[in-house]
Chains A and B, each alone.
Chain A
Amino acid sequence: MNSPDLTLDDLERDALTEIVNIGVSRAASNLRKMIGGEVLLSVPSIDVVSQRRAARLISEREVTELVAVRQGFEGPFSGRALLIFPETNSLELVRAVTGGELSAAEVVEMEVEALAETGNVILNSCLATMANMLKRSLTMTVPEVLRGTGASLFEVDESASSEGLVLFLYIDFAVRKHDIRGYIAMIMDIPSLGILKELLDEFIARVVGDDG
């Protein structure tokens, strides 16, 4: 965080958390319909960190390789959104989503397709909700599935003089009683984060009014 302006204050952080919560709730509802089973999704907290820090953060928490679904978004603020799972959890997610009726080989075969679909539902819901709640519109690209380390997923460029910021959200994900640990990350450049911050302030003013 190069400038104090870009630090989200407590309310901005709460507001963004709640907006993403609405997004993942919609995603959960969509997933429930998709797989016909229980899906619970919630986002307890959010951090704004540098790309490098995000990479270190996730590597501290996850000791295995990571699998991610990535989608670009463009609008008043632009960037890339990622849904990240530790590799072990991703297969479990596929098994949960498919109802546990597939063989191990089939799970592996279906992994990319199932992940892309699940990620698309969740990320789309989140970004669409954000656009809706902040009263702006965003366009999204087609999702892609990536594997790698924190550094590669967060596009850490050691030679870059300035780096972008990452909105780092933890998600609690329970599918058919399977607890799956995952993360949502939004990589944005500094101007985009500045605009997001302004839009969040407008949202807070609307919701809290004079009561704050």
Chain B
Amino acid sequence: MADPAFGGDPIRSILAAAGASGTWDWDIAADRLAVDERFAELYGLSAGEASALPPSMFFKAIHAADRARMRIAVAGMIAGAEQFSKEFRIVAPDGTILWVHGRGQTHFDESDQPVRFTGLLVDVTARKRTEERLRVAQSTGGVGTFEYSDGFATATVSNEFCRLLGLYPAEILPVPTINAVLKSKDEPPLIPESHRGGPPETLDHVFCIVRNDDGAERWIARRGEIVREGQDGGYRLIGVIYDVTATKEQEAALRDLNETLEARIEQAVAERQRIEEALRQAQKMEAVGNLTGGIAHDFNNLLTIILGNIDTATRRLDSDADPRARRALENALKGAERATSLTQRLLAFSRRQPLAPRAIDAGRLLAGMSDLLTRSITETIAIQVSSSPGLWTVEVDPNQLENVILNLAVNARDAMPDGGALTIDASNASIAADASSDVPAGSYVVISVGDTGTGMAPETVAQVFDPFFTTKEVGKGTGLGLSMVYGFIKQSGGHVQIRSALGQGTTVALYLPRLYRESEALEDDVRIGAERGTLAETILVVEDDDDVRAYTVGLLRELGYRVTEASNGFAALKLIEANDQPISLLMTDVVMPKMSGSQLVDAAQQIRPELKVLFTSGYTRDAIMRDGKLDTDVDLLSKPFTYPVLAAKVRDVLDR
């Protein structure tokens, strides 16, 4: 490939490639310069004039930028310096610029006076270009080179090599000086010395160094080749180094980012798992609620039959009947009543118990419970029941509230196996809008039940309202107590707060919303009596369960009413339309297939708007329920019901 620097002259290119050289002989004493043919050709001189030139001719072809430098160098030689070794540019006659290496020496006479200056001019343009390219590659690429020969104490290095390590530029550096920049002396050496035994396996490595000039810590990568020479295992290491600090830092930053990303993902996943867990718990509770609600409904139907029939059997017993039979029936009644109470609790937990809230004075309710509490709680526990004067009225199902308070009192008792104090208190509380409370702003009557017992750890407190969570031994608690409390209070529009710490006792506060309605006439307890009916009063009983229907019809007839019956809404409507006997009261189950109780009532009241209605239900989350409370103008008889309750309710509705 012809080098453009040689202007396409093939002979010159070949000569240059061969390192063509010319010689000179400068006679200092005679002040005359003689050059050979090749020198003359480089300088564009004719062969004839080459033997007797004025010495200034030596500088004629030298590039202007190098001329002063060469004049100084030659002046040194003429004045007695011995060694001459300079690289400079000459401008050939055709304008081509060549790099040449002049190598010369001075000859002295006996009195040490310089007499001749002779030398050799070698065209080094090709080498110079290569060096230039290498230098530019090194400086712009930030790559330093090194070469180390097995057995030597020094390495040949480039300026860029020194710069990268913060060393003063040098061509040759002792190996210990180079290796001293390593941050850790335990690292493999930058230049592995041969006394470490044989050549290294590879030159690929990344080092952490402390730059010698500014003390900066940098990462330096080394790459290279191991050149084996001779047969005695000798070798040379030829390689490069370059700074990889930025890459290392980016790697570290990326790794950092990755690590925090993992942490962030873990956090998000944990949060998601927590939410999923909560959702699963809610779904489970919903499913359990549906199941228990359904079971309770069926049980209530069955219990209605059982209770009703025990009731009937008991009433039919003569006074001289076998006392064992009477006792057996009494026991059966007790068992059925306990079963009733259990289904009631299941309904409360599933928040599907029909509540009958009434305006009450909580203080009076507490006072009425004193006896019951004293009997339920062991003597080692001091009971104090109090209520602030001027308590506001609340609207709540009093029977259920009593249950709840009793439940809490029993829990308190169980938390104080070695005795203590149980405090039950009712007071007014106004929560401000800006108060940092779990309880929304408003006016409340607070019933608090506190003990001085073992208390609970925060993680236990967090779980106490979960259904089936119990701290009691297996078999001792249902785990439904506090969740029933929670369900009931929530259903009543209130809030529950629990404060507890290990060894500090527990206080449960029930916040019941204040009732603003006129409350001068607080309702009395349900009247209980067996009011009878007459044959002039016809009651239509609609019930899909044949046994329950038969039992209900039997009771009503016993009470003296005229009774007609239907097993579904359509049959009932036909009877109402037919109007053979004017119907005084429609008594219907709420949950029935095809036509529900409320649909039936709607249709019936289209025909007879004044028709009186009594719903019966063991399972009431239906149209007659609004926010878990009965519509005020709807009458509901909860299954299972007993003879006197049925009698009183029917009479009550008919007499309005």
Q: Is A63 part of the contact surface with B, judged by Cβ < 8 Å?
A: yes
Q: Is B108 part of the contact surface with A, judged by Cβ < 8 Å?
A: yes
Contact of B72 among A15, A40, A42 (CB under 8 A): A15
Q: CA separation between A14 and B72, bound complex, in Å?
A: 7
Within 8 Å CB of B71, what residues of A? 207-209, 211-212
Q: Is B79 part of the contact surface with A, judged by Cβ < 8 Å?
A: yes
Asked if A25 and B68 make an inter-chain contact with CB atoms under 8 angstroms apart, the answer reads no
A23-36 contact mask (Cβ, 8 Å, vs B): 1 or 0: 00110110000000
Within 8 Å CB of B200, what residues of A? none
> Which A1-57 residues sit within 8 Å CB-CB of chain B?
10-11, 14-15, 18-19, 21-22, 25-26, 28-29, 40-42, 44, 53, 56-57
Asked if A211 and B68 make an inter-chain contact with CB atoms under 8 angstroms apart, the answer reads yes
Q: Is A146 part of the contact surface with B, judged by Cβ < 8 Å?
A: no
A114-129 contact mask (Cβ, 8 Å, vs B): 1 or 0: 0000000000000001
> Which B38-74 residues sit within 8 Å CB-CB of chain A?
59, 67-69, 71-73
| B interface majority secondary structure | mixed
Within 8 Å CB of A53, what residues of B? 168
Asked if A25 and B167 make an inter-chain contact with CB atoms under 8 angstroms apart, the answer reads no
Q: Is A204 part of the contact surface with B, judged by Cβ < 8 Å?
A: yes
Most chain A CB neighbours (cut-off 10 Å) among B67, B68, B85, B170: B68
Q: Is B376 part of the contact surface with A, judged by Cβ < 8 Å?
A: no
Q: Which of B173-181, B270-278, B400-408, B411-419 contacts A (4 or more CB under 8 A)?
A: B173-181
Asked if A18 and B75 make an inter-chain contact with CB atoms under 8 angstroms apart, the answer reads yes
Within 8 Å CB of A204, what residues of B? 68, 72
Asked if A60 and B167 make an inter-chain contact with CB atoms under 8 angstroms apart, the answer reads yes
Within 8 Å CB of B73, what residues of A? 14, 18
Q: CA separation between A133 and B73, bound complex, in Å?
A: 13
| Closest beta carbon of chain B to A10's beta carbon, Å | 7
Asked if A61 and B174 make an inter-chain contact with CB atoms under 8 angstroms apart, the answer reads yes
Within 8 Å CB of A41, what residues of B? 82-83
Q: CA separation between A206 and B556, bound complex, in Å?
A: 146
Q: Is A62 part of the contact surface with B, judged by Cβ < 8 Å?
A: yes
Closest to B174 in A: A63
| Closest beta carbon of chain B to A135's beta carbon, Å | 12
Size category of the binding interface on chain B: 20 to 34
Q: CA separation between A61 and B172, bound complex, in Å?
A: 8
Within 8 Å CB of A19, what residues of B? 76
> Which A118-165 residues sit within 8 Å CB-CB of chain B?
129, 133
Within 8 Å CB of A62, what residues of B? 174
Q: CA separation between A198 and B176, bound complex, in Å?
A: 40
Q: Is B483 part of the contact surface with A, judged by Cβ < 8 Å?
A: no
Closest to B108 in A: A29
Closest to B106 in A: A25
Within 8 Å CB of B59, what residues of A? 211
Q: Is B201 part of the contact surface with A, judged by Cβ < 8 Å?
A: no
Known: A60-B212, A63-B177. A14 touches B69 (CB 8 A): yes
Q: How many A-B residue pairs have CB under 8 A?
A: 80
Q: CA separation between A212 and B76, bound complex, in Å?
A: 16
Asked if A207 and B75 make an inter-chain contact with CB atoms under 8 angstroms apart, the answer reads yes
Asked if A61 and B173 make an inter-chain contact with CB atoms under 8 angstroms apart, the answer reads yes
Asked if B69 and A11 make an inter-chain contact with CB atoms under 8 angstroms apart, the answer reads yes
| Closest beta carbon of chain A to B165's beta carbon, Å | 10
Q: CA separation between A207 and B59, bound complex, in Å?
A: 13
Within 8 Å CB of A22, what residues of B? 76, 79-81
Asked if A21 and B83 make an inter-chain contact with CB atoms under 8 angstroms apart, the answer reads yes
Within 8 Å CB of A211, what residues of B? 59, 67-68, 71
Asked if B168 and A56 make an inter-chain contact with CB atoms under 8 angstroms apart, the answer reads yes
Q: CA separation between A44 and B67, bound complex, in Å?
A: 18
Within 8 Å CB of B67, what residues of A? 208, 211-212
Q: CA separation between A212 and B173, bound complex, in Å?
A: 36
Asked if A208 and B173 make an inter-chain contact with CB atoms under 8 angstroms apart, the answer reads no
Q: CA separation between A129 and B106, bound complex, in Å?
A: 16
Asked if B81 and A21 make an inter-chain contact with CB atoms under 8 angstroms apart, the answer reads yes
Asked if A18 and B76 make an inter-chain contact with CB atoms under 8 angstroms apart, the answer reads yes
B78-102 contact mask (Cβ, 8 Å, vs A): 1 or 0: 0111110100000000000000000
Within 8 Å CB of B174, what residues of A? 61-63
Asked if A21 and B68 make an inter-chain contact with CB atoms under 8 angstroms apart, the answer reads no
Q: Is B627 part of the contact surface with A, judged by Cβ < 8 Å?
A: no
Asked if B68 and A11 make an inter-chain contact with CB atoms under 8 angstroms apart, the answer reads yes
Q: CA separation between A99 and B539, bound complex, in Å?
A: 147
Within 8 Å CB of B320, what residues of A? none
Q: Is B610 part of the contact surface with A, judged by Cβ < 8 Å?
A: no
A53-73 contact mask (Cβ, 8 Å, vs B): 1 or 0: 100110011110000000000
| Closest beta carbon of chain B to A17's beta carbon, Å | 8
**10 examples of A-B residue contacts, CB within 8 angstroms:** A10-B69, A19-B76, A21-B83, A25-B80, A25-B83, A41-B82, A41-B83, A56-B212, A208-B67, A208-B71
Sorted nearest first, the 5 A-B pairs with minimum C-beta distance are A18-B76, A25-B82, A212-B68, A21-B81, A42-B83
For the complex with contacts A14-B69, A22-B81, A61-B177, 14 further pairs of A-B residues with Cβ separation under 8 Å are: A14-B72, A15-B72, A18-B76, A21-B83, A22-B76, A22-B79, A22-B80, A40-B82, A44-B85, A53-B168, A60-B173, A129-B80, A208-B68, A212-B68
Identify the A interface with B (CB < 8 A): 10-11, 14-15, 18-19, 21-22, 25-26, 28-29, 40-42, 44, 53, 56-57, 60-63, 129, 133, 204, 207-209, 211-212
